[in-house]
């Protein structure tokens, strides 16, 4: 691996800035796109005709981005090296009729998105982010990054069973945040958001808004060897893939035997079945159009896909000191131990022995340690975009990631070394 591709502790500092700039999937792809633009990439529209020129290009669609770099002289059948990730995180989402309240409190009606740990959203200062849609068909990003909302927990005096028996939360009744006092007024929230963005509320025809914790990421621990922050699942991987793709694209073209690709999808946390999810056609369409734009045929497309490998990068579970019995007894991934290879023979992860070899070689080139994760047989195993990508596109896929604690919490925890170790492994993989 070229020394110019090597990331260090500064990568983790940069991850903290990326997390703060990306309170929603729409912000995450905008932030990634801006970084790729600085690396020389240019946006191509899906509705435009594509040419076969070399260089870095990317497509934006909602909360998803696919970016790729075509080396000078790349043949139409050149295989791809893909890093896949997702931009969404479990959270709360604002409903279509958001104005709610009772007993003199103004509230915001929300739905629970994905498998979030509900209690981690209680008594936390929340902002509001996402996008609004205007009647001219355009969108505006929204980021009200200050304490605005709060989901108040019931005092222990009124729920004496909360500590001995465990907190029990009703997703409908107990998770609606407050944001002020007074009578409920229809249209109040959207008028407020429109004013914050600087548009007329009458022009707002739709919204995709979500609360987010405004507390900044922070180093933690006696020796600052841990990092606490929001949305690490899975913006940690999106950030690593963005940095790695930009670095690889800066290498001499003759050193790239593959076309490196980053694909960051939305809606992984609820099944990936959307036009911006991994189970949609976005990635396959982009790859095919890239082949055809370079004068390729269906045969070239088939050859390219047959030689393609995808790393599906998502967070995984580090061994928990208080719940070690929930983990497999012989597989104990630790934080700051390097990226993890995820294995599940029931295809909840797409890794097989051949994929293990690809990942091991990338780590060897990058001089990065790595670990293996397997779920406890007595517990259900989570999944990722990996099996979806493998099955939908017929592409060899390997599931990897970084081991963390507090997954799906409003604030998660990882080791400070693992983000840059992951980025180094990803860069070595993309560079071939």
pTM of the predicted structure, to 2 decimals: 0.96
For residues 101 and 184, the answer to whether their CB atoms sit within 8 Å is yes
pLDDT at 164: 81
Q: Max Cα separation, the chain?
A: 71
For residues 430 and 245, the answer to whether their CB atoms sit within 8 Å is yes
The one-character DSSP state at 120 is: G
Pairing of strands 80-86, 309-313: parallel
pLDDT at 110: 98
pLDDT at 5: 63
Phi first, then psi, for residue 67 (nearest 5°) are -130, 145
pLDDT at 3: 42
- Which residues of the chain carry a pLDDT beneath 70? 1-5
Of 96, 84, 86, 83, residue with least CA distance to 25: 86
pLDDT at 187: 96
- Residue 218 host element (H or E): strand 218-220
Task: Tell me the two tokens of residue 186.
Answer: 């229809």
pLDDT at 189: 98
pLDDT at 162: 84
The one-character DSSP state at 6 is: -
Which distant-in-sequence residues (6+ apart) come within 8 Å of 395 by Cβ?
82, 305, 308, 309, 310, 389
Q: How far apart are the first and last CA of the chain?
A: 9
For residues 304 and 78, the answer to whether their CB atoms sit within 8 Å is yes
Which residue intervals of 329-381 are DSSP H helices?
A: 353-366
Task: Tell me the two tokens of residue 366.
Answer: 């990058």
Rounded distance between C-alpha atoms, residue 20 and residue 16, angstroms:
6
Residue 379 CA, chain-centre distance (Å), reads: 25
Task: Tell me the two tokens of residue 86.
Answer: 């997702």
Which distant-in-sequence residues (6+ apart) come within 8 Å of 199 by Cβ?
132, 134, 140
pLDDT at 1: 47
Rounded distance between C-alpha atoms, residue 327 and residue 331, angstroms:
7
- Count CB atoms within 10 A of the CB of residue 133: 15
Q: Which residue has the tokens 């200050």?
A: 146
Q: What is the CB-side half-sphere exposure of residue 231 using CA atoms within 13 A?
A: 31
For residues 192 and 182, the answer to whether their CB atoms sit within 8 Å is no
């Amino acid at each position: 691996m070229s020394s110019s591709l090597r990331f260090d502790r500064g990568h983790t500092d940069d991850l903290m800035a990326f997390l703060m700039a990306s309170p929603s999937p729409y912000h995450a792809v905008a932030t990634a796109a801006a970084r790729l633009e600085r690396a020389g990439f240019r946006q191509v529209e899906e509705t435009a005709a594509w040419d076969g020129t070399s260089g870095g290009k990317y497509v934006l669609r909602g909360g998803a981005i696919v970016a790729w770099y075509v080396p000078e002289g790349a043949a139409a059948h050149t295989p791809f090296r893909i890093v896949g990730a997702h931009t969404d995180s479990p959270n709360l989402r604002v409903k279509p009729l958001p104005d709610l309240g009772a007993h003199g409190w103004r509230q915001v009606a929300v739905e629970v998105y994905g498998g979030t740990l509900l209690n981690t959203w209680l008594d936390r200062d929340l902002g509001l982010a996402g996008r609004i849609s205007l009647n001219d068909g355009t969108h505006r990003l929204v980021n009200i990054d200050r304490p605005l909302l709060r989901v108040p927990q019931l005092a222990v005096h009124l729920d004496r069973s909360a500590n001995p028996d465990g907190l029990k939360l009703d997703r409908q009744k107990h998770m609606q945040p407050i944001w002020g006092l007074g009578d409920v007024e229809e249209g109040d929230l959207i008028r407020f958001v429109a004013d914050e963005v600087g548009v007329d509320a009458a022009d707002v025809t739709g919204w995709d808004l979500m609360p987010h914790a405004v507390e900044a990421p922070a180093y933690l621990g006696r020796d600052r060897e841990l990092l606490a922050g929001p949305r690490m699942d899975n913006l940690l991987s999106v950030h690593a893939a963005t940095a790695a793709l930009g670095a690889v694209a800066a290498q001499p073209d003759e050193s790239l035997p593959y076309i490196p690709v980053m694909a960051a999808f939305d809606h992984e946390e609820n099944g990936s079945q959307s036009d911006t999810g991994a189970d949609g056609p976005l990635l396959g369409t982009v790859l095919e159009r890239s082949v055809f734009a370079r004068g390729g045929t269906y045969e070239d497309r088939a050859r390219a896909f047959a030689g393609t490998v995808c790393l599906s990068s998502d967070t995984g579970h580090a061994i928990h000191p208080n719940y070690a019995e929930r983990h497999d007894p012989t597989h104990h991934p630790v934080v700051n131990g390097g990226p993890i290879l995820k294995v599940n023979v029931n295809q909840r992860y797409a890794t097989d022995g051949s994929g293990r070899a690809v990942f091991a070689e990338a780590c060897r080139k990058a001089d990065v340690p790595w670990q293996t994760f397997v779920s406890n047989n007595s517990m259900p195993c989570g999944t990722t975009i990996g099996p979806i990508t493998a099955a939908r596109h017929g592409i060899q896929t390997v599931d990897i990631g970084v081991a963390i604690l507090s997954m799906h919490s409003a604030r998660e925890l990882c080791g400070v070394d693992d983000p840059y170790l992951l980025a180094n492994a990803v860069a070595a993989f993309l560079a071939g």
